[in-house]
Amino acid sequence: MPRHAKCVFCDIVSGNAKSYKIYEDELSMCILDIHPYTKGHCLVISKRHVPWWHELTDEENASLFKVAKIVSKKMMEKFKPDFIFLYARGRRIPHTHLFLIPTYSGDLLDKFFNALENFQESPQILAKLKEPSELEKAANLLKF
């Protein structure tokens, strides 16, 4: 696989940089993130330098998600999280990588996503508060 100048993931794939390799196949590699959000936080990287996951070949994309699934199953078994959070990045380090982050009820990421989901749903909740029956209920509760 060609190595790109100043790409830490290319250095890891080529063996020129230290990593904590968890699993690999011919097209993808999974490593521990050295700046983890939680214990066991991993990155699945493509072995070929491609900035965005949607620019991978079909085979590379299948490999990336297959490796993510294999490692996620092991995370579930060993860490027993409530959920494995997966998201694709490539902005800070322009080399396709998936984050695999075990999350637990009440941890920082769980709170973040609960807040994000509540924000996403809030327009509907707020719209309901404008209904005359809801306004009447609130007014009755506050009247002296």
pLDDT at 10: 95
Q: Is 92 helix (H, G, I), strand (E, B) or coil?
A: coil
Tokens of 100: 């695999």
Rounded CA-CA distance 57/46 in Å is 11
**pLDDT value for 96:** 92
What single string gives the DSSP state of each residue in 101-123?
EEE-TTSHHHHHHHHHHHHHHHH
For the chain, list the domains and their CATH numbers.
1-104 (3.30.428.10), 107-144 (no CATH)
Tokens representing residue 20 in the block = 């904590």
pLDDT of residue 119: 75
CA distances from 96 to 11, 32, 60, 90, 125 (A): 14, 15, 11, 5, 37
Longest dimension (CA), the chain: 75
Percent of the chain with pLDDT over 90: 59
Per-chain mean pLDDT for the chain: 89
